[in-house]
Amino acid sequence: MTVLLVASCTSAGPRTGEILGASQEIVTSRQTAPLGGTDAARFVVVEADRNVAFTWQRFEETRAAFFADPGPGQVTIQSGDVLSITLVSTTENGAFVDFTTNSLSPIATTALPSQRVTELGTINVPPIGRVEVRGRTLPDVENFLDARLSEVLVNPSVVVELAQRNNALVSVVGAVGAPGSFAYTSGTARLLDLVSLAGGARSDIQGLDVSLSRRGSVRRVALSDVYRNPGLNVHVRPGDTISVEPRNHAAVVLGAAGENTQVEFNTRTISLARLLGQVGGIENRRADPKGVFIYRPTPRRLAGLLGINVSNYPGDDILVVYRFNLEEPGAFFTLSEFDVRNGDILYVANSRYEQIDAALDIFSDAVVRPITIARTIDGD
């Protein structure tokens, strides 16, 4: 009874065969082998090789990881904005009219007092009265006022400027020099323009991510990629929130590795070979070289590209365990090409020898030592 109890407690985690046997199916680049896993497990084991590593890399390069560039936008007037309006007009004899004093003046322009757009979206423009401007661009309002004023003035000209922006704002937060909200005054403004307005990044851009929140959706990309790839430097829109944050990625290492720990990295990915190197590799006798596993939820579309029958699994992500067999001569090429990602769990299974050794050690402590003591008492 004692020996059976000890043997059941010697494993720090599931062995290779137990993981393979519990999966729903095993997928390789050569074949798919359905297994009899329980419904509760609903995970797949994928035999990792260079094809799997390259498929992941191509998927990450091609999928829409960031917002598409909507192109230049229009600066439209909103309630709460403050407008500055200047009127210019000539009479038939060439004299200018100053509408603020209602008299002839040699001054060529007449500036109306700045005024805030009301909640109804209107402003007051003498001599024509209330004018609705909300939702219009500045050139639209200028053209509209030119047409209306031409009914009472000779060759009128109107200049409308946005003196203060109070509603259409873009916010920049996080690891920048001066976080805050900035007026959307130029339809050509891009993501990096706003980061610059906020004082730029506070640290090396190689370790930073930038996320853009727009209409309830959030997308994230490496800030260094935005500098390298103009297509990621998208035009901003009113209401956008830009967040610059340190990239605190981490993977957890468990099982028969040199060290059980959380490995942090500020790069987008880290190769499995490098990760294993940082924790001291796998333990020579304790580890099963055929049982190195990466646990990672995998997007449904990518799972299909890997040969998984996705119709057997619900949800947008499929639970996948990637298995690496280090007894294969070419496995170390795969280790250097397979990217570990944020949130991955690396598990190294115990070998059968470790199970036997642990059981024998405890059996020796529990049985052999008492026998030796008994012999001493007996005088042997």
267 by Cβ neighbours in 10 Å (0-12 / 13-18 / 19+) ranks as middle
Domains and CATH numbers, the chain: 2-64+249-357 (3.10.560.10), 84-164 (3.30.1950.10), 169-246 (3.10.560.10)
Looking at residue 284, its pLDDT comes to 85
Which H or E run includes 180?
Answer: strand 180-183
- Between β-strands 129-132 and 43-47, what pairing exists: parallel, antiparallel or unpaired? unpaired
Dist. CA 242–CA 212, nearest whole Å: 5
Closest CA relative to residue 326, chosen from 286, 282, 296, 294: 282
Give pLDDT, residue 341.
Answer: 93
Pairing between β-strand 208-214 and β-strand 217-222 as defined by DSSP bridges: antiparallel
Closest-CA residue to 63 (of 266, 270, 306, 302): 302
pLDDT at 100: 53
Between the CA of residue 248 and those of 208, 217, 222, 245, what are the distances in Å? 9, 21, 12, 9
pTM of the model: 0.62
What is the spatial distance between Cα 195 and Cα 187, in angstroms, rounded to a whole number?
A: 16
Q: Which of 314, 331, 296 is nearest to 45 (CA)?
A: 296
Position 2 scores a pLDDT of: 33
The residue whose two tokens read 């900035």 is 182
Q: How far apart are CA 171 and CA 184, in angstroms?
A: 10
Rounded to the nearest integer, the mean pLDDT of the chain is 82
Per residue of the chain (380 residues), what is the pLDDT tens digit? 333 333 333 445 777 877 777 776 777 655 444 555 544 457 899 999 999 999 999 998 776 568 999 999 988 999 999 999 888 766 555 555 555 555 555 445 678 888 899 999 999 888 788 999 999 999 999 999 888 888 777 777 888 888 888 888 999 999 999 999 999 988 999 999 999 999 999 999 988 999 999 999 999 989 998 999 999 999 999 999 999 999 889 999 999 999 999 999 888 889 999 999 999 999 988 899 999 999 999 999 999 999 999 988 888 999 999 999 999 988 999 999 999 999 999 999 998 765 555 444 444 444 444 433 333 334 44
- Tell me the two tokens of residue 144: 């509209």
Instruction: Provide the 3-class DSSP secondary structure of residue 257.
Output: strand
Residue 60's pLDDT is 84
Predicted confidence at residue 239, as pLDDT, reads: 92
**pLDDT value, residue 363:** 43
Q: What is the pLDDT of residue 287?
A: 93
Q: Taking the CB of residue 195, how many other CB atoms lie within 10 A of it? A: 24
Amino acid 92: pLDDT? 55
Tokens 């200047």 belong to: 86
**Is residue 160 within 8 Å of 85, Cβ to Cβ?**
yes
Among the listed residues 340, 354, 348, 343, the one whose alpha carbon sits nearest the alpha carbon of residue 260 = 348
